[in-house]
């Protein structure tokens, strides 16, 4: 990773921030993007062992994504890795949720990935680099109470899998990384049925994989040019396995597991 140019969206907190530190420890040059520029400025000051460029970016806006890629090229002249990490979640059953909430989930999670990937692709093909999407186990199994989130993650997986196949002969590496439940701010900022921030997380974050450990696994998967990374055994690998071979059992287990959340929107 020494001197590789890495773009990370959603870099101001959680997995994105942890990825910034992990790549910096390996000598990569960083282009960090997020909406909260003040947090990016703090992160830039903290990372002193490599070159860091920050760029305010709302990935739901195509022009912002195009500007981000142009910033990376004008600064470093190349792109080796693009990590589409920016994303938001939600918590409401489909019957209650306003459609604007679902549109917002798709705009940020899915279209943000598409926009950044579109403008970065020509440069990644030149370097035979890595195109990465951070999805979730929700990209393999529908999570009740999170219709928009699951739909966006399924869409990202389908999009990136197709881009991989289209470029099998071009040397492009495409990784779809699916962490299990990871300690981060994503649940605190999750949208309710009416589009407000949820606030407090309904889950015990202390029992989850840390963002730092998650980032280490993702970077290793990029180094090994893996096509897919599924993290955690029970909530990750076992869930995907059951989805393939015992889907009815998985439906019941998923419902029961998610219904245990405090103030669950369904019972």
- The DSSP-derived string for 16-82 is HHHHHHHHHHTT-EEEEEES-HHHHHHHHHH--SS-EEEEE--TTSHHHHHHHHHHHHHHHS--SEE
| pTM exceeds 0.85 | yes
Q: Return mean pLDDT, the chain.
A: 91
At residue 95, the 3 state secondary structure works out as coil
Statement: 5-240 belongs to CATH 3.40.120.10: no
| The one catalytic residue among 21, 115, 119, 149 | 149
Average pLDDT over residues 101-108: 96
CB 33 within 8 Å of CB 55: yes
Write the pLDDT tens digit of every residue in 27-80.
999 999 999 999 999 999 999 899 999 999 999 999 999 999 999 999 999 999
Distance in angstroms (rounded) separating the CA atoms of residues 213 and 197? 26
Res 245 pLDDT > 90: no
Q: Is 148 exposed, middle or buried (0-12, 13-18, 19+ CB in 10 A)?
A: buried
Sorting pLDDT into bands at 50, 70 and 90, what band is 13? very high
CB 254 within 8 Å of CB 210: no
Beta strands 130-134 and 81-84 are parallel
Domain parsing of the chain, residue ranges:
5-240
Model pLDDT, residue 267: 63
Between vectors from CA 33 to CA 30 and to CA 35, what angle results, nearest 5°? 155
Find how far residue 98's CA is from the centre of its chain: 24
Percent of the chain with pLDDT over 70: 93
149 is catalytic: yes
Write the pLDDT tens digit of every residue in 183-232.
666 656 789 887 877 666 555 556 678 899 999 999 999 999 999 999 88
């Amino acid at each position: 990773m020494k001197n590789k140019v890495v773009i990370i969206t959603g870099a101001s907190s959680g997995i994105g921030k942890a990825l910034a530190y992990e790549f910096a420890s390996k000598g990569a040059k960083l282009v960090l993007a997020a909406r909260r520029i003040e947090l990016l400025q703090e992160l830039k000051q903290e990372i002193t062992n490599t070159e860091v460029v920050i760029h305010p970016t709302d990935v739901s806006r195509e022009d912002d994504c195009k500007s981000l890629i142009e910033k990376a090229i004008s600064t470093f002249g190349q792109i080796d890795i693009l990590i589409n990490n920016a994303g938001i979640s939600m918590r409401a059953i489909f019957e209650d949720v306003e459609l604007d909430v679902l549109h917002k989930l798709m705009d940020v999670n899915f279209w943000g990935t598409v926009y950044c990937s579109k403008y970065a692709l020509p440069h990644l093909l030149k370097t035979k680099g890595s195109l990465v999407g951070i999805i979730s186990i929700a990209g393999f199994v529908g999570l009740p109470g999170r219709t928009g989130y699951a739909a966006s993650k399924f869409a990202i997986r389908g999009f990136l899998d197709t881009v991989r196949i289209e470029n099998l002969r071009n040397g492009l590496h495409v990784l779809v990384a699916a962490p299990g439940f990871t300690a981060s701010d994503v649940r605190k900022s999750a949208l309710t049925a009416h589009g407000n921030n949820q606030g407090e997380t309904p889950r015990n974050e202390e029992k989850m994989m840390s963002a730092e450990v998650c980032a280490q696994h993702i970077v290793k998967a990029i180094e090994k040019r893996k096509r897919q990374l599924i993290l955690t055994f029970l909530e990750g690998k076992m869930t995907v396995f059951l989805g393939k071979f015992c889907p009815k059992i998985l439906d019941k287990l998923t419902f029961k597991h998610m219904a245990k959340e405090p103030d669950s929107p369904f019972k």
